[in-house]
Amino acid sequence: MHSKVLTFLRVGGSNTAGVKQGLVAGLAALALSMGGLTYGSSGGKSSLVRQASGLLQVETLLEGLQHPWALAFLPNDEGVLITERPGRLRLWREGRLSPALPGVPEVYARAQGGLLDVAIAPDFAENRHVYLAYAEQDSNTGRAGTAVGMGRLADDGRALENFKVIFRQQPKLSSGVHFGVRLVFDSAGHLFIALGENNQRSTAQDLDKHQGKLVRLMADGSVPPDNPFAGQPQTLPEIWSYGHRNPQGAALNPWTGRIWTHEHGPRGGDEINIPQAGLNYGWPIATHGRNYSGLAIPEAVGADVEGMEPPHYVWEESPAISGMAFYDAGRFPQWRHSVFIGALKDRELIRLELDGDRIVAEERLLGELDARIRDVRQGPDGYIYVLTDSGNGALLRLSPEPRRSQ
């Protein structure tokens, strides 16, 4: 059963319009140091925002991104890779943003489609492999689906080389929506791919289709022999779990080693799951949501259905969640054992406090910014980084107190 929220810390009730104005118009790039790597350019300023739990420092490192979707930190101070939905992969390094890197595949950049998630191979230091997830069109039908491939980041960081596709969602059924998609590696090096159901609800229950599935692969795209459906007739062996709607968050819990995912409900019913091998997570038969028209989902029989896993946590009213990051750094002890999730519709950053796997409190941050939060990651410096989703998207760095001189 899903956890109950014991505490809800609503943020921003005492903030003035001037603070909001300062956040929207006054945040500028600031010189920040992370080891040998510098983020931002000098001469700007940051803002302090009073939250229910104390002061939050918000620093804008970069603006002018076109619908950024995901970021990934490279090791050894090499920079940050950022995807932009129209099809650009950029490298942010030493306060400078690269042009679009050559070598990125052609993407289906319509509606929700485009260049989406990016992930770094666990053994990047040896092979420099970068993984991309994107929407790809079928030239025969005009429909689209999610594809995943990998390439080698050039030693100078100026190109993605030898890109090859290692996974394609089949069949391609999307007319522009519900691609998912998030990529995450587990501690054994398996690649998990969280896939949307292309707005074709019933396919999430079909084990001969990739729609609405969490897929588990080896890093080269091959299928692990211990996958739950490997060797079974009329099923796709790469499927790990099924019955998902449109997952746009996935992360490895650093304390348990288990994959967490979250997904958009329809009108209500956004949910977090901890997917287990071979289990059915219900969509569209079991859901807490309703159709956008307000009518019931035609296939739904209730919120809890026998033989289907209930969500670990659910929002009856949808924040429209995207991105997920566990916080396990030592820099800010007050954030330890938290998971951060972006909210597109609610235009906030959600922090969930954990007691083991139980979610015991919820805090809303960044409401004053009035920005769609698309992705959130913990940086190697122990700060939280977020991407805002707009035609003038930004990379922000957050800390729960003023940054002290190093």
Which residues, 6 or more positions from 150, have their beta carbon under 8 angstroms from its beta carbon? 121, 129, 130, 131, 132, 163, 164, 166, 219
Is the model's pLDDT at 33 over the cut of 90? no
Is the residue at 73 inside a domain?
yes
**pLDDT given for residue 7 in this prediction:** 33
pLDDT > 70: percent of the chain: 88
**pLDDT given for residue 142 in this prediction:** 97
Is the residue at 366 inside a domain?
yes
Cβ-contact 98, 158 below 8 angstroms: yes
Is the residue at 142 inside a domain?
yes
Is the model's pLDDT at 199 over the cut of 70? yes
Distance CA 210, CA 221 (A): 15
Mean pLDDT over residues 127-136, rounded?
A: 98
**pLDDT given for residue 45 in this prediction:** 53
Which residues, 6 or more positions from 117, have their beta carbon under 8 angstroms from its beta carbon? 69, 70, 83, 132, 133, 181, 182, 183
Q: What mean pLDDT value characterizes the chain?
A: 90
Q: What is the DSSP letter of 334?
A: G
Cβ-contact 133, 116 below 8 angstroms: yes
Is the model's pLDDT at 401 over the cut of 80? no
Is the model's pLDDT at 320 over the cut of 60? yes
pTM of whole model > 0.85?
yes
**pLDDT given for residue 51 in this prediction:** 79
Distance CA 17, CA 40 (A): 26
Mean pLDDT over residues 165-179, rounded?
A: 98
Burial status of residue 331 (CB atoms within 10 A of its CB: 0-12, 13-18, 19 or more): middle
CA 360 to chain centre: 22
Is the residue at 18 inside a domain?
no
Return the minimum-mean-pLDDT range out of 9-18, 84-93, 250-259. Answer: 9-18
Distance CA 33, CA 296 (A): 51
Beta-strand pair 7-9/358-365: parallel
Is the residue at 104 inside a domain?
yes
Q: Give the domain range for residue 126.
A: 7-11+65-376
Q: DSSP per residue over 250-268, as a string?
A: EEE-TTT--EEEEEE-SBS
**pLDDT given for residue 404 in this prediction:** 56
**pLDDT given for residue 5 in this prediction:** 32
- What's the farthest any 2 CA atoms get from each other in the chain? 63
Cβ-contact 198, 177 below 8 angstroms: yes
Distance CA 218, CA 129 (A): 14
Active site residues: 178
Distance CA 32, CA 7 (A): 34
Cβ-contact 169, 181 below 8 angstroms: no
Which residues, 6 or more positions from 156, have their beta carbon under 8 angstroms from its beta carbon? none
Is the residue at 401 inside a domain?
no
Is the model's pLDDT at 334 over the cut of 50? yes
b (16+ CB within 10 A) / e for 379-401: bebebbbbbbbeeebbbbbbbbe
Is the residue at 169 inside a domain?
yes
Is the residue at 279 inside a domain?
yes
Which residues, 6 or more positions from 202, have their beta carbon under 8 angstroms from its beta carbon? 284, 299
- Structural domains counted in the chain: 1
Taking only the tens place, the pLDDT of each residue in 103-128 is: 999 999 999 999 999 999 999 999 99
**pLDDT given for residue 31 in this prediction:** 31
Question: Residue 115 sits in a domain of what CATH number?
Answer: 2.120.10.30
Mean pLDDT over residues 208-226, rounded?
A: 98
Distance CA 306, CA 285 (A): 11
End-to-end CA distance of the chain: 45
Taking only the tens place, the pLDDT of each residue in 296-306 is: 999 999 999 99
Greater confidence, 40 or 374? 374
CA 103 to chain centre: 23
Is the model's pLDDT at 3 over the cut of 60? no
